[in-house]
Structure 1
Amino acid sequence: MSAPTRRPRRSRLALAGAAAVLALLTVPAPGAQAAGSAPAPPLTGENLGPDRLPGCAAVVGSMTPRERLAQRLMVGVDAADPAATAATVRTTQVGGVFIGGNATDLLRDQELRAVQAVARIPIAVAVDDEGGRVQRIDELDGSLPSARAMAARMSPDEVHRTAAERADRLLARGVTMNMAPTVDVGEQPAGSVIGDRSFGADAEKVTTFALAFAEGQRERGLFTVLKHFPGHGHANGDSHRGRVSTPPLAELRELDLLPYANLVGPDGPLSSREGRDRTGVMVGHLDVPGLTDDLPTSLTPAAYRLLREDYGFDGLVLTDDLGAMRAVTGRFDLPEAVERALAAGADVALWSTGGEVAPLLDDLEAALAAGRLDAGANDTAVQRVLSAKGVCGRS
């Protein structure tokens, strides 16, 4: 993509994100690190001292309502069309893009640098690179084993090293966020909706291997996302195809929710400590007796309260795909689903299906003005989004 002939004036927000831009543009290629040496920290102001990043409250306070709402959207893009991706970011200034499918054009030849260049605030570039059936750079950088295979054949230390090496490759291609690891607990058949995407049926084993995977990627500077809260491993179907139910909440607490309790609570190893956001949680589209009523978890305020209050998680929370999963699309069109998810407590609404973003932002602005979206909660969510991208620091 050719550079614009006229350089736009840099705003205060662009300056606030300059440190994060440096991080995205200076990641070494795979193999650049000397053998046996410790990985260099990401090049951000945070690593020069906490005073080098502006406070998130001040940054958000300088943004317009539309700019704030745009940061809460993660839009699916066509990886075969880098120019269209750049156009979407330039015209809407969304907070993130999600790269799914099998095309790899956007992940080649540093195409994502051109996308970052048109963003006034650095965007989150997300993939779901779990391994096995769900991975995105296998054609470019080799295949990653499934979670089940890793747990069966590797030690936690080996998983840690494997995940760190994979993070190097993702970062070198411009990816900043991985929707992995899966912390669903279960022993479904390998090819079922979760199946071999799970590390196993034992919650302690899932916790151990998920921690090894996440820490390996976090240490290299890649943001990780645990999924699918509150637990898809014992659900009675596939939420891609329709509404599904899990065991009652009381049973989930005894098994499926244990990895979250152990990993992301206030004292957990993947928690958000001192505003240092490195791991998020994805909320699934699940019907949970004792928690949900007529809506799936992704659209239910009680599900977000469970995560925030009962499990003490203060980091970034995203929805599962709102645009291509029948558990949601069977009842709601995309604009309504996005508004409901944000109002319920999601920081970020994710959808893979792309489409026109500007009309959706118009609807969200109207919802904010009318009070259907709480202004204070909206600002808090935007602070989490920006902190997760290294743009600012939360106190």
Structure 2
Amino acid sequence: MSTTVGTMRIRHAFALVLCAGLAAGCSSGNGTDTTATSQPSTSESAASSTSTTSQAAAPGPFGSAVCGPGFLKSLTERQKLAQLLTVGVTGTADALDVVKSEGIGGIFIGSWTDESMLANGEAAQVAEASAVPLMVTIDEEGGRVSRVDQLFGPDPSAREVARTMTTDQAYEMALERGRKLRSVGITVNFAPDVDVSSQPDDSVIGDRSFSDDPEVVTRYADAYARGMRDAGILPVIKHFPGHGSASGDSHTGAVTTPPLDQLQNTDLVPFRNLVDTEVGVMLGHLSVPGLTTDGLPASLSPQAVDLLRKGTGYDAPPFEGVIFTDDLSGMKAITDRFDIADAVEQALKSGVTSALWLTTDDVPRVLDHLEDAVAKGRLPQSQVDESVLTVARAKGAVSC
């Protein structure tokens, strides 16, 4: 497809996924109505916030999408910065607190999250409390990376899927799983893993990879992503620019891939083929010779973001969707070298649009740090605004 058409499809589909999942901020009238239950209006949500300095709800109605300048004008600096954060929560109370007090852009449902939040439909309750549509994210690949196997039963790993299923069957499996995720309030899934790997099943990527053949990975990942999209879930492909042939495990330390030119015909192939198919992208904590510099992994690297955004460095279409980091707080590739506030600042400076980490404890401190970074010019205001609008378009809060 053309670059223009691809860009429009990405923006339109991402917004539809989140709006359909949340309803809040996407209805035709004022307030944040859903089709099933009435919700407090945006003004009521704003009034319930704890203080004027950390108030979550932006002033004015978000029931109808607005144009970008109006949206930006309605947010304080802190509220803008909060929209660029996705944080893990322990349960409903934790999620409600960070949404109401800081207006966070997204929450992450992890293995430590109280399952009752999903089982009892409380994720939707949290989304309803947000004045701006909220991303409710999860890491549900199947196999050993599953957060809902106790709730819905297990799905096979990616490698097992490619060994035993056709792509049509993989699509149907993802569609069924996606519908179940949507039924409990999930809107974004950090899957499929599009790493190209021949590693043993139990290695860091291993059976999370569909295959060591990039074309097989592309076909099955495309089928899986289509199933998720058709269920109302935004799929996020990972770990750009490719973890499959890297040495090391970013959970336990630094990771280095082969040089960028060696990734062109293997690891980058699935990204090249899928970035214009209505997905988000997650950056890996990967040092890539010929790409990353200054000791920064891809997740914090302006060069890696530039490669993904422009596409010209690996013969791909431009990408204008949401870019997530991998976890910044629980993986030693980052924590051995960066404080969480510094890591988030560097990620946002690099052009990442959503910095991800695992707990809400540091959210106020991180936002204080980011406000200081903007005030002192370390984090350009124009870049913050551009990233906020990228996320807002994805959520359906901005239509022009």
What TM-score range do you get, normalising by the shorter chain? 0.7 to 0.9
Q: Does 1:107 align with 2:108?
A: no
Question: Could you say if the C-alpha distance between residues 212 and 303 of structure 1 is closer, same or farther in structure 2, counting changes exceeding 3 Å?
Answer: same
Residues 127, 175 of structure 1: 8 Å contact kept:
yes
2:398 is matched with 392
2:95 is matched with 85
Percent identity of the aligned residues?
46
One-letter code of the match for 2:309? Answer: R
Quick one: distance in 2 between partners of 1:66 and 1:18?
Answer: 23
Question: Could you say if the C-alpha distance between residues 216 and 142 of structure 1 is closer, same or farther in structure 2, counting changes exceeding 3 Å?
Answer: same
SS at match of 2:388: helix
Deviations 1:108-160, CA, capped at 9 Å, x for gaps:
21111221232111211100000000011111111111100111111111111
2:367 is matched with 361
* Post-superposition offset of 1:16: 8.1
1:307 is matched with 308
2:40 is matched with none
Quick one: distance in 2 between partners of 1:388 and 1:162?
Answer: 25
One-letter code of the match for 1:251? Answer: Q
Deviations 1:64-95, CA, capped at 9 Å, x for gaps:
111110000001111xx321221121111100
Residues 109, 137 of structure 2: 8 Å contact kept:
yes
Of 173, 182, 196 in structure 2, the residue corresponding to residue 171 of structure 1 is 182
1:17 is matched with 25
One-letter code of the match for 1:76? Answer: G
Quick one: distance in 1 between partners of 2:254 and 2:395?
Answer: 33
One-letter code of the match for 1:257? Answer: L
Residues 98, 360 of structure 2: 8 Å contact kept:
no
Deviations 1:334-375, CA, capped at 9 Å, x for gaps:
000000110011001000133131121111111112111111
SS at match of 2:361: coil
Residues 17, 392 of structure 1: 8 Å contact kept:
no
Question: Could you say if the C-alpha distance between residues 24 and 287 of structure 1 is closer, same or farther in structure 2, counting changes exceeding 3 Å?
Answer: farther
1:286 is matched with 286
SS at match of 1:321: coil
1:161 is matched with 172
2:74 is matched with 62
Quick one: distance in 2 between partners of 1:58 and 1:16?
Answer: 18
Quick one: distance in 2 between partners of 1:23 and 1:129?
Answer: 26
Q: Which moved more, 1:208-217 or 1:17-26?
A: 17-26
SS at match of 1:254: coil
2:380 is matched with 374
Q: Does 1:221 align with 2:221?
A: no
Q: Counterparts of 1:1-395 in structure 2 under 5 Å?
A: 17-19=25-27, 53-78=65-90, 81-102=91-112, 103-264=114-275, 268=276, 270=277, 278-293=278-293, 294-310=295-311, 311=316, 312-393=318-399, 395=400
RMSD over equivalenced CA pairs, Å: 1.9
**Unmatched runs of 5 consecutive residues or more in structure 2:** 1-21, 38-63
Quick one: distance in 2 between partners of 1:85 and 1:94?
Answer: 9
SS at match of 1:235: coil
Quick one: distance in 1 between partners of 2:153 and 2:384?
Answer: 40
Q: Which moved more, 1:330-339 or 1:308-317?
A: 308-317
One-letter code of the match for 1:87? Answer: D
Quick one: distance in 2 between partners of 1:335 and 1:25?
Answer: 39
SS at match of 1:125: strand
Q: Which moved more, 1:357-366 or 1:179-188?
A: 357-366
Residues 139, 190 of structure 2: 8 Å contact kept:
yes
TM-score using structure 2 length:
0.82
